[in-house]
Amino acid sequence: MATAVSPVAEVCRAAKRASRALAQTDTAVKDAALEAIATALQARVDEITAANERDMQLAREAAIGDALLDRLRLDEGRVDAIARAVRQIAALADPVGEVIEGRRLPNGLDVRKVRVPLGVVAVVYEARPNVTIDAAALCLKSGNAIVLRGSSSATHSNAALAQIAAEAAVASGLPDGCVSLVAGGGRDELAELATQRGEVDLIIPRGGESLKEALQEVATVPVIYAASGTCHVYVDASADQDRAEAIVLNAKTQRPGVCNAAETLLIHEQLAAEFVPRVLRALGAAGVLVRADERTAALAGTLEAVPAPAGTGRAPEVVVEPASEEDWATEYLAPIITIGIVDSLQQAIEHIGHYGSGHSEAIVTRDTAAARAFQLGVDAACVYVNASTRFTDGGEFGMGAEIGNSTQKLHARGPIGLRELCTFKYLLEGDGHVRD
């Protein structure tokens, strides 16, 4: 099994061989392999958490920050959650062989358009060891071999997880090479992986802009970018303020270090005088730093006589700093939010179009026409009405898990799940047909 460090080309060739067998593997065999992976993860949780603690200690010494530490951390509860996701994927319908459409042509030929695996999928990701298993499970269920390339910060965690998955899969009847890990070669290794045309059918990078830029410079293999999320919540003039506050807090604070967390809050000027002080109090109590435009900063002055939150004995500390031009386009992945006041729904849409990354955007409103205009006007993979952006997730969408969230428009957009890991082919059946 290619789970240790191996030459990239060798790993990819083995994966290609495995992909040909996987494409013909029965659903029952794939599902049994996924169940074996889930069982092995839970049985070997001590081994996984020990490996993860080695990565965590190195990360603490490197002072990578709380958000990245949270992404990196594995404990028994998180390993159980990963195993549950594997079982959820196993329970989903197999997309391979699904008939997308079928018809009989006027000449009598029968045509079916059916889903088939892509082949070999390489996933490049940073500081999130759960992706090792999420990606492997999705690829195996959809009949693809997978080549994993994690970050150096999760070296020990990824190695343990990939080895466990590969051993369980092969023991259950899947081909050797179906799950592989490459690691340790830095940018040269990444460039080699990104140029394995003929062996790798697709690369999915899941990380920050630096990873995206590094691949854009060298990739000759097709790429779906699971890109960053500069996500917005827009509170419209008609919004219910209780609902708006709850959505803003959830979108920003429920887990700040993920791509579907809100980074910017826009507030209609008709609601600003009342809602800005209220939301600043709530964000301050939650420990969120605010970077604000001039109108928002001016309203922050009304917070001087804020009553203390129940049980704290003190008023919340609300830190408001001036927002720079750069802030509006920044994915903080931290308890920081940029707040601006807009004069209209259209201005909010234009702001999102200029600064957003096309990931997830939300409007809070009681106006059906405003909601519809927002849905039509905002160009993003996921557009929410009266809901938090935190729902952009393969698990929440019923996909079991995801490899990432695509902000592109071709082939896959939004959470990348089983069907997004398939292409299609046309199957044609005739009765001695020849073309005139």
How far are the Cα atoms of 59, 60, 72, 348, 378 from residue 64, in angstroms, in the given order?
A: 6, 7, 10, 34, 34
Structure tokens at 178: 């179906």
pLDDT reported for residue 313: 46
Structure tokens at 304: 């001087």
Yes or no: say if 388 and 254 are a contact pair by the CB < 8 Å rule.
yes
Locus of tokens 């404990």: 75
Do 253 and 195 lie in one domain? The reply is: no
90 occurs within a structural domain: yes
387 occurs within a structural domain: yes
Cα 328 to its chain centre, rounded Å, is: 21
Sheet with 422-429: strands ordered across: 99-104, 110-117, 422-429
Do 317 and 385 lie in one domain? The reply is: yes
126 occurs within a structural domain: yes
Do 127 and 184 lie in one domain? The reply is: yes
How far are the Cα atoms of 81, 149, 289, 357 from residue 53, in angstroms, in the given order?
A: 18, 20, 30, 34
277 occurs within a structural domain: yes
Yes or no: say if 229 and 360 are a contact pair by the CB < 8 Å rule.
yes
- Over its C-alpha atoms, the chain yields an Rg (Å, rounded) of 24
Apex 263 CA angle, 269 and 286, nearest 5: 90
3-class DSSP state for residue 161?
A: helix
Overall domain count for the chain: 2
pLDDT beneath 70, residues of the chain = 1-6, 184-185, 227, 302-316
436 occurs within a structural domain: no
Do 263 and 364 lie in one domain? The reply is: yes
pLDDT reported for residue 185: 60
The dihedral of CA 31, 33, 37, 40: what is its sign? positive
Q: Which domain holds residue 340?
A: 231-391
DSSP state of 83: H
Do 175 and 282 lie in one domain? The reply is: no
Q: Which residues contact 352 (CB under 8 A, 6 or more apart)?
A: 232, 234, 266, 361, 378, 380
pLDDT reported for residue 399: 86
pLDDT reported for residue 263: 98
pLDDT reported for residue 1: 44
Do 20 and 60 lie in one domain? The reply is: yes
